[in-house]
Amino acid sequence: MLPDAAWVLVSVAGRYAAVVARNALRLGKHVFLFSDNVPVEEEIQLKAMAAAKGLLVMGPDCGTALIRGIGLGFANKVRLGPIGVVAAAGTGLQQVTARIHQLGGGVSYGIGAGGRDLTEKVGAVTFRQGIDLLARDPETSVIVLVSKPPAPKVAEEMLQVARSAPKPVVVNFIGRPASTWQMDNLYFATGLDDAARLAMELTSPPAPPLPGEGSIPPPSLAGKGVGGSGFAPTQRYLRGLFSGGTLAYEAQYLLQGYLPKVWANAPLNKADRIPNSLVSQEHTIIDLGEDEFTVGRLHPMMDNELRIRRLMQEAADPEVAVIMLDVVIGYGSHPNPASELAPAIAKAKATAAAAGRYLEVVAVVTGTDEDPQNLVSQIEQLRAAGAWVDASNETVVRYAGRLLRALNSQYPIPNTQQPVDLATLQRPLSAINVGLESFAENLIAQGVPAIQVDWRPPAGGNEKLMMILERMKGN
Amino acid sequence: MIDIEQANKTTVDRMMEARPVLIGVGRARDVIPGMRDNLLLHAGPPVTWERMAGPMKGAAVGSLILEGKAQGWDDAEALITSGAIEFKPCHHHAAVGPMAGLISPSMMVYIVENQTQGNRAYSGINEGRGKVLRMGAYSEDVLERMHWLNDVLAPVVHDALALCGGIDLRSLLGQALHMGDDGHNRLSAASLLFLKSLDPYIVKTAPNPDVASDILKTLGDNALAILNPVMAACKTMTDAGHNVEGSTIVTVMARNGTDFGIRVSGLGDRWFTAPAGVVKALYFPGFTERDANPDIGDSTITETAGIGGFAMAAAPAIVTFIGGHAKDAVNTTLDMYEITYAEHKFFTMPPLDFRGTPTGIDIRKVVEKGIPPRVNTGVAHRDPGIGQVGAGVVSAPMKVFEDALIAYAERYGFAE
């Protein structure tokens, strides 16, 4: 009876599928769950049970999967190779893996999660297991994540999980516009084809240097780490104090790639509007050039007084880790903004240090060396005060973004899953097929030992008796 | 919440640890607890005269003639319908009877004692195959033979058993399974072992050599001579496992020719019944399925204890009943592992590398897998007075297990 089979393929009618899958899990088998019409409550319960046992439930409604070159369900004949795919999108998985094959590449695993896995209810249990096992699999060098439109919150969580993978991860969440095309080890594809192409590029070492990247030294927490003279454990948030509206917008846009939510008085999305512009909360970007601040007062490009007061206010907040400023010079602006801002920055940092905190102040200076205020001189004054300064808004925002993400990822999403034992996937595949006979035939055609179970609904399909039997079983 | 596994383990352990020993023969009125002059015991779950199957009616009439309470069918029936006679299942009195299973007060019965837990069970003297009382025949020659068995054979066998110190039936059955018996329908080896154990003593306890010769010939010619002691042995085993709180193991399966009934260890003395099935049988020349009475008899106590149809793999010769292949016998046993709790410690089967027989029918497994217990059985003619017409296999009706499961769920809080 193939007692060492690691897999059970289930394709019986949906209302019986959970019972069969649960029995497979009780026997310590991974489950490929093709059946559809499985109630979502059953899916949640099955996946919780599987995660606690370090087993996979691929599905329900999982049409396809690839396990080390062997296709389960509907699958293409795809070369074995170093790209691992996790998908909550059946044909998406087929398209990406087929394209990788056409491009000359190969696939280690194609893990199907089922179409509902990335909903908030199900909480991406299988998706997370897939990322985790591919991150640990020594034969996988690049991971590709594919999903139909996921729940935004779950998508963010999965990106955070993916960031902890020690290898490049190509992401194609259809319908979730990427704010950036790369972020640390994450590469955002514009489509399935692009995902396949990107994955191929990333498997050919060394990964090509990407334009714009590489010029920024990776953010280091060295000397700024939590404890000692570094950041205090309370310090997690950004405060951006801008004079330039467009620079503030761009900062918000770019930070989407790094932070779950940024409040603003001039937000990109209404939902992010800060309730009180005078009081920051969590990550906040304030455009001090907005009308609410300029009634009866000069614009902050000319008058630094309000901004300096707000700078000191933010510096006193024990939750603040990074403060960002923009300094826009040129005709019409303050004749020497750095002469006022630099001492304020120094004072802000000193205030934080006196309270046992490390405060990072970053600044972008917009202007030229021929401006009356002189770009170089402004930068030098700000740096002398201890600020991290660049002339590119994007560079400064990304630097701040990485720093903040590093700080916040010290609070990782708790993972209560039992890791999937890779050995169960690495040994030669053999499977027990319950349901569509063609699935067993397909495996045998691929040289895989498979047995077809002559399955009948438990208790002859009598639901009352089935319920009683399930209750008597417990887990 | 009740620990079902532990309860079932207790039940099956008790069943397997039971050590039934055949210790003697006695008159039913004297030895069976609760036996009374106007009481007739019968096979299966309770049944009224109105619903009673033909062969059981025939055996009841025969028993009343044997008891001297009636001369023939008409006055026997008049006596019964007058309410002067009470019918009760053998199982209510620690007894078991093959086919109609009739035990009347003056009949002699084997006494089997379980020397582990101390309980006893009782069963009559086997008459052999064909036209016999237990199959519903009650003609003069049938009753003549019953008289001889009760009055001549029984006392001699009783004295022989006393002389030899009793026969350990668990050990005898273990041996017989290694000699091609299933312990229910095929008891050729067991009956010979029985004879072998008794004959040195029968020659001493018989009043003269002619009687000794008749008794030895009767026992030796009857390949089912030991069926009744074996059934009583199985009854002591399953009774030892009965009434374990929370257990889902079946402790009685029995048929009265009208209904098939079971009892479950954790559900007390309640019967769960459904109409008895028709046996798939090989018929004696001149008979067909149209002549067959539905499934009848207490002999399914053997399957309940883990032998009989469940041990078919040990008895490939038995497939001649159904005209199948030796492999079918093995497959039947393999199927029964699907619905049982344990493999027997003392009953093993050479063709399965001495694997223990499937023991302890679990109502959960029967219902979940839709596999009913398989039973090997004889077939009686549907009309009284004719006797056996064949032998074959039959499955227990699923309904009794489903009803028992629902009752269990209600009793132990799994219903909602």
Q: Is B86's Cβ below 8 Å from some Cβ in A?
A: no
On whether both A127 and A174 belong to a single domain, the answer is yes
On whether both A252 and A399 belong to a single domain, the answer is yes
pLDDT at A20: 92
Contact state of B4 with A472 under an 8 Å Cβ cutoff = yes
pLDDT at A459: 86
Contact state of A462 with B402 under an 8 Å Cβ cutoff = yes
In a domain, A74, yes or no: yes
Both tokens assigned to B195: 């004879």
Q: Where a domain ends, among A357, A373, A408?
A: A408
Q: How would residue B175 be classed by pLDDT, with cut points 50, 70 and 90?
A: very high
Count of C-beta atoms within a 10 Å radius of residue B219: 21
Residues 6+ positions from A381 with CB-CB distance below 8 Å:
A338, A339, A342
- The span from the CA of B311 to the CA of B55, in Å, is 28
Q: How many inter-chain contacts (A to B, CB under 8 Å) are there?
A: 35
Residue numbers in A near B407 (CB within 8 A): none
pLDDT at A207: 37
Q: Where a domain ends, among A367, A383, A408?
A: A408
Examine the pLDDT at B264 and tell me if it is beyond 50.
yes
| Per-residue pLDDT tens digits for B176-232 | 999 999 999 899 999 999 999 999 999 999 999 999 999 999 999 999 999 999 999
Distance of residue A166 Cα from the nearest chain B Cα, in angstroms = 46
On whether both A310 and A341 belong to a single domain, the answer is yes
On whether both A25 and A134 belong to a single domain, the answer is no
Output the domain CATH number for residue A286: 3.40.50.261
Strand arrangement, sheet containing A237-242: A263-264, A284-287, A237-242, A320-328, A360-366, A388-390
Helix (H, G, I), strand (E, B), or coil: what is residue A223?
Answer: coil
In a domain, A231, yes or no: no
Closest residue in chain B to residue A466, using alpha carbons only: B368
Q: Which of B264, B287, B278 is nearest to B360 (CA)?
A: B264
Q: Among A29-33, B73-77, B83-87, B382-386, whose mean pLDDT is lowest?
A: B382-386
Instruction: Determine the Cα angle at A163 with ends A80 and A100, to 5°.
Output: 25
Residues 6+ positions from A354 with CB-CB distance below 8 Å:
none
- The span from the CA of B342 to the CA of B124, in Å, is 30
Question: Domain of A241?
Answer: 237-408
Instruction: Determine the Cα angle at B294 with ends B291 and B300, to 5°.
Output: 130
| Per-residue pLDDT tens digits for B362-416 | 999 999 999 999 988 889 999 988 888 988 888 999 999 999 999 999 999 998 7
Distance of residue A469 Cα from the nearest chain B Cα, in angstroms = 7
Residue numbers in B near A464 (CB within 8 A): 406
On whether both A36 and A136 belong to a single domain, the answer is no
Q: Where a domain ends, among A356, A375, A408?
A: A408
In a domain, A225, yes or no: no
The number of CA neighbours under 13 Å toward the Cβ of A322 is 27
Query: Residue B201 region, left (φ>0) first, then alpha (ψ -120 to 50), else beta?
Result: alpha
Give the residue-averaged pLDDT of B257-263.
Answer: 97
| Per-residue pLDDT tens digits for A95-141 | 999 999 999 999 999 999 999 999 999 999 999 999 999 999 999 99
**Percent of chain B scoring above 90 in pLDDT:** 87
On whether both A143 and A283 belong to a single domain, the answer is no
On whether both A93 and A53 belong to a single domain, the answer is no
In a domain, A217, yes or no: no
Candidates B4, B369, B409; nearest CB to A468: B409
- The span from the CA of B406 to the CA of B386, in Å, is 40
Q: How would residue B17 be classed by pLDDT, with cut points 50, 70 and 90?
A: very high
- The span from the CA of A12 to the CA of A14, in Å, is 6
Output the domain CATH number for residue A432: 3.40.50.720
Residue numbers in A near B248 (CB within 8 A): 472
Q: Is B406's Cβ below 8 Å from some Cβ in A?
A: yes
On whether both A241 and A354 belong to a single domain, the answer is yes
Q: What residues in chain A have their Cβ under 8 A from chain B's Cβ atoms?
A: 456, 458-460, 462, 464-465, 468-469, 471-472, 474
| Per-residue pLDDT tens digits for B315-356 | 998 887 666 788 889 999 999 999 999 999 999 999 999 999
A124, A117 in Cβ contact below 8 A? yes
Both tokens assigned to B22: 């055949």
On whether both A76 and A12 belong to a single domain, the answer is no
Contact state of A465 with B367 under an 8 Å Cβ cutoff = yes
Distance of residue A64 Cα from the nearest chain B Cα, in angstroms = 29
Q: Is B398's Cβ below 8 Å from some Cβ in A?
A: yes
Number of domains in chain A: 4
Examine the pLDDT at A406 and tell me if it is beyond 80.
no
- The span from the CA of A43 to the CA of A193, in Å, is 30
Distance of residue A28 Cα from the nearest chain B Cα, in angstroms = 19
pLDDT at A66: 94
In a domain, A289, yes or no: yes
Q: Which of B402, B380, B379 is nearest to B391 (CA)?
A: B379
In a domain, A215, yes or no: no
Average confidence score pLDDT of chain A? 88
pLDDT at A412: 54
Average confidence score pLDDT of chain B? 95
**Percent of chain A scoring above 70 in pLDDT:** 91
pLDDT at A213: 40
| Per-residue pLDDT tens digits for A385-398 | 999 999 999 999 98
In a domain, A226, yes or no: no
The per-residue DSSP string of B144-209 comes to HHHHHIIIIIHHHHHHHHHHHT-EEHHHHHHHHHTTT--SSS--HHHHHHHHHHHHHHHHHHSSSH
The number of CA neighbours under 13 Å toward the Cβ of B110 is 29
Examine the pLDDT at A401 and tell me if it is beyond 60.
yes
- The span from the CA of B148 to the CA of B150, in Å, is 5
- The span from the CA of A276 to the CA of A115, in Å, is 40
Both tokens assigned to B18: 């039971």
pLDDT at A211: 39
Q: Judging by DSSP bridges, how do beta strands B374-380 and A83-88 pair with one another?
A: unpaired
**A329 DSSP 8-state letter:** -
Q: Which of A145, A89, A151, A144 is nearest to A114 (CA)?
A: A89
Which helix (DSSP H) or strand (DSSP E) does residue B44 occupy?
A: none
Contact state of A468 with B406 under an 8 Å Cβ cutoff = yes
Residue A409 CA: distances (Å) to CA of A103, A217, A233, A401? 36, 19, 12, 12
| Per-residue pLDDT tens digits for A422-472 | 999 998 999 999 999 999 999 999 999 999 988 888 888 888 998 899 889
Closest residue in chain B to residue A471, using alpha carbons only: B414
On whether both A258 and A324 belong to a single domain, the answer is yes
Q: Judging by DSSP bridges, how do beta strands B374-380 and B167-168 pair with one another?
A: unpaired
Q: How would residue A384 be classed by pLDDT, with cut points 50, 70 and 90?
A: very high
In a domain, A149, yes or no: yes
Give the residue-averaged pLDDT of A336-348.
Answer: 95
Q: Which residues on adjacent β-strands are paired with residue A363?
A: A325, A389
Residues 6+ positions from A323 with CB-CB distance below 8 Å:
A238, A239, A240, A241, A311, A314, A315, A348, A359, A360, A361, A362
Backbone phi, psi, residue B36, to 5°: -130, 165
Both tokens assigned to A431: 């499977």
Q: How would residue B80 be classed by pLDDT, with cut points 50, 70 and 90?
A: very high
Examine the pLDDT at B16 and tell me if it is beyond 90.
yes
Q: How would residue A223 be classed by pLDDT, with cut points 50, 70 and 90?
A: very low
Residues 6+ positions from B132 with CB-CB distance below 8 Å:
B142, B145, B387, B388
On whether both A9 and A83 belong to a single domain, the answer is no
Both tokens assigned to A212: 């714009």
**Percent of chain A scoring above 90 in pLDDT:** 62
- The span from the CA of B293 to the CA of B58, in Å, is 12
Mutate to test the interface with B, among A455, A468, A470, A473 (most CBs of B within 10 A): A468
pLDDT at A413: 58
Predicted-assembly ipTM surpassing the 0.90 threshold: no
Residue numbers in B near A469 (CB within 8 A): 364, 367-368, 405
- The span from the CA of A327 to the CA of A391, in Å, is 10
Examine the pLDDT at A26 and tell me if it is beyond 60.
yes
Q: Which residues of A229-240 are buried (b: 16+ CB within 10 A; e: fewer)?
A: eebbeebbbbbb
- The span from the CA of B32 to the CA of B23, in Å, is 14
On whether both A382 and A249 belong to a single domain, the answer is yes
pTM of this structure = 0.68
Q: How would residue B263 be classed by pLDDT, with cut points 50, 70 and 90?
A: very high
Residue numbers in B near A458 (CB within 8 A): 367-370
| Per-residue pLDDT tens digits for A242-276 | 998 899 999 999 888 788 789 999 998 899 999 99
Helix (H, G, I), strand (E, B), or coil: what is residue B388?
Answer: strand
pLDDT at B27: 98
Both tokens assigned to A117: 């896995």
Backbone phi, psi, residue A302, to 5°: -105, -30
